[in-house]
């Protein structure tokens, strides 16, 4: 277990600099942060963990855990239509973790903060001989209460962003090679659909991000709305890599639809929104595909 003096010095050296944009974080010198929510905004909060050997393969780096964990949480904000704002990090390390690894972790967090305009405000640090894990609590802001999960109406269309199945394919590559292809990059560093999520306000009647698989997350939307969805599996958009894998019989369509780690948005919208969604797709340069109906 790291000594108290080691923990304090690491926090001051590697993590306190990440809080400079938020005076209410007190440079991580206090036990809590004091925040003033931007005027007229609703606060959206989500928390999720990224665990070595569970969410990423054993032996992954702290930096890889950080990037994946950061973006997993951002995807939850995207599903609510929120803009990233602040976050906390609970960091659980292996005993005797080298400072070099922590420096790389802090560097990745600085990159993520700059890209997604989100600032560290606090957290905790512990260690033992078990697997490493990071738990993020993300705070987002938006002009509304967030997209409902249970608002689908009979007659709505069912849509998905991007392509499905690349998370599964990326994991298969990650288990056998350290080479980073577009698929492994998608697996280790998914792109949360934040801009689309915010743009879906007043269009989507229900929304969820696809973390546990399109089929499982679709069932969550069904259950929340009390509706039945008619999914056209062959309408689900697939990447060229996924189509090739299907042709080679190295994967099945059910695996691609069931695995997860895609972090795309699955949402419902009235049929009258079809043109507006086409315009959103062009504006944000994201693929939006109708894949079913709400009965």
pLDDT at 171 over 60: yes
Name the 3-class secondary structure at 173. Answer: helix
**Per-residue pLDDT tens digits for 192-225:** 999 999 999 999 999 999 999 999 999 999 999 9
Indicate whether 100 and 166 sit together in one domain.
no
Indicate whether 110 and 202 sit together in one domain.
no
Sequence-distant (6+) residues with CB within 8 A of 199 are: 280, 283, 284
151 falls within a domain: no
Indicate whether 273 and 163 sit together in one domain.
yes
Kindly give the residue spans of alpha helices, DSSP state H, lying in the chain.
4-10, 62-80, 99-116, 166-174, 182-188, 194-199, 214-225, 240-247, 253-258, 274-284
CATH number, domain with residue 226: 3.90.650.10
Indicate whether 137 and 178 sit together in one domain.
no
Last residue of a domain, one of 142, 176, 192: 142
**Per-residue pLDDT tens digits for 45-91:** 999 999 999 999 988 999 999 999 999 999 999 999 999 999 999 99
pLDDT at 6 over 70: yes
147 falls within a domain: no
Indicate whether 85 and 123 sit together in one domain.
yes
pLDDT at 271 over 60: yes
Indicate whether 11 and 131 sit together in one domain.
yes
**pLDDT on residue 188:** 95
CATH number, domain with residue 21: 3.30.1330.10
**Per-residue pLDDT tens digits for 129-163:** 888 999 999 999 999 999 999 999 999 999 999 99
**pLDDT on residue 3:** 67
Query: How many angstroms separate the CA atoms of 49 and 55, rounded?
Result: 9
Indicate whether 124 and 170 sit together in one domain.
no
Last residue of a domain, one of 107, 142, 177: 142
Query: How many angstroms separate the CA atoms of 243 and 273, rounded?
Result: 29
Last residue of a domain, one of 111, 142, 173: 142
Indicate whether 174 and 280 sit together in one domain.
yes
At 96, is the pLDDT very low, low, confident or very high (cuts 50, 70, 90)? confident
Q: Residue 112: exposed, middle, or buried by beta-carbon count in 10 A (0-12, 13-18, 19+)?
A: buried
Indicate whether 177 and 80 sit together in one domain.
no
Q: Which domain holds residue 112?
A: 4-142
**CA 129: distance to chain centroid?**
27
211 falls within a domain: yes
**pLDDT on residue 34:** 97
Q: How many domains does the structure of the chain reveal?
A: 2
15 falls within a domain: yes
Beta-carbon count within 10 A of 6 CB: 13
**Per-residue pLDDT tens digits for 233-270:** 999 999 999 999 999 999 999 999 999 999 999 999 99
Indicate whether 126 and 161 sit together in one domain.
no
The residue-averaged pLDDT of 1-7 equals 69
pTM of this structure: 0.95
Query: How many angstroms separate the CA atoms of 164 and 186, rounded?
Result: 11
What phi, psi does 46 have (nearest 5°)?
-140, 155
The answer to whether 188 and 180 have CB atoms below 8 angstroms apart is yes
Query: How many angstroms separate the CA atoms of 254 and 240, rounded?
Result: 17
Indicate whether 177 and 98 sit together in one domain.
no
Indicate whether 91 and 162 sit together in one domain.
no
């Amino acid at each position: 277990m790291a000594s108290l003096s080691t923990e304090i010095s690491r926090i001051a050296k590697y993590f306190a600099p990440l809080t400079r944009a938020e005076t209410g974080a007190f440079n991580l010198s206090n036990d809590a942060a004091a925040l003033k929510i931007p005027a007229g905004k609703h606060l959206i909060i989500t928390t999720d963990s990224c665990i070595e050997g569970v969410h990423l393969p054993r032996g992954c780096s702290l930096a890889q855990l950080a990037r994946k964990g950061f973006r997993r949480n951002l995807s939850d904000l995207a599903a609510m239509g929120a803009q990233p704002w602040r976050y906390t990090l609970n960091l659980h390390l292996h005993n005797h973790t080298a400072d070099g690894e922590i420096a790389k972790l802090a560097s990745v967090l600085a990159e993520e903060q700059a890209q997604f305009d989100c600032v560290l405000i606090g957290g905790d640090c512990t260690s033992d001989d078990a697997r490493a894990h990071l738990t993020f609590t993300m705070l987002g802001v938006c002009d509304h209460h967030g997209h409902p999960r249970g608002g689908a109406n009979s007659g709505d269309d069912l849509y998905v962003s991007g392509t499905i199945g690349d998370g599964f394919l990326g994991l298969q590559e990650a288990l056998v090679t350290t080479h980073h292809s577009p698929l492994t990059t998608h697996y280790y560093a998914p792109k949360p659909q934040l801009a689309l999520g915010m743009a879906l306000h007043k269009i989507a009647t229900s929304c969820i991000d696809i973390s546990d698989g399109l089929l499982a997350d679709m069932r969550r939307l069904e259950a929340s709305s009390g509706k039945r969805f008619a999914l056209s599996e062959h309408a689900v958009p697939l990447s060229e890599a996924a189509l090739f894998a299907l042709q080679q019989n190295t994967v099945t369509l059910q695996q691609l639809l069931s695995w997860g780690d895609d972090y795309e948005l699955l949402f419902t919208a009235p049929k009258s929104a079809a043109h507006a969604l086409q315009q959103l797709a062009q504006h944000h340069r994201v693929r939006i595909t109708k894949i079913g109906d709400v009965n």
